[in-house]
């Protein structure tokens, strides 16, 4: 058996990390580009842009955890 950096066990983690990256990017774009012409509710008036930013920060932390798991899995040699 040889040591493979990319194997079948890492690919699901890479897929999850890629999906988290797409969600983070879309939440940041929504928070930056969303413009309400007329606010109907009180949370629209006071900063509805904050919610996608908070979600993006939380997902960014999860993304970092997944990347850490991937690097740990790559660096540990199992006998």
Mean pLDDT (the chain) is 71
With 0-12 CB in 10 A as exposed, 13-18 as middle and 19+ as buried, what is 60? middle
Phi-psi domain of 47 (left: phi exceeds 0; alpha: psi -120 through 50; beta: other) = left
Furthest-apart CA atoms within the chain: distance in Å: 64
pLDDT over 60 at 48, yes or no = no
pLDDT in tens, 63-79: 888 778 777 777 775 54
The number of residues in the chain equals 79
Mean pLDDT of 38-44: 59
Average the pLDDT over 36-47 and give the result.
Answer: 59
Query: Is pLDDT above 80 for 61?
Result: yes
State pLDDT tens for residues 2-28.
555 556 666 776 777 788 778 888 877
Predicted TM-score (pTM) of the model is: 0.52
């Amino acid at each position: 058996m040889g040591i493979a950096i990319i194997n079948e066990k890492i690919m699901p983690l890479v897929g999850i990390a890629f999906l988290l990256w797409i969600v983070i990017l879309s939440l940041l774009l929504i928070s930056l580009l969303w413009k309400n012409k007329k606010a109907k509710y009180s949370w629209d008036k006071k900063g509805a842009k904050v919610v996608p930013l908070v979600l993006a920060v939380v997902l960014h932390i999860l993304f970092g955890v997944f990347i850490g798991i991937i690097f740990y899995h790559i660096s540990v040699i199992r006998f």
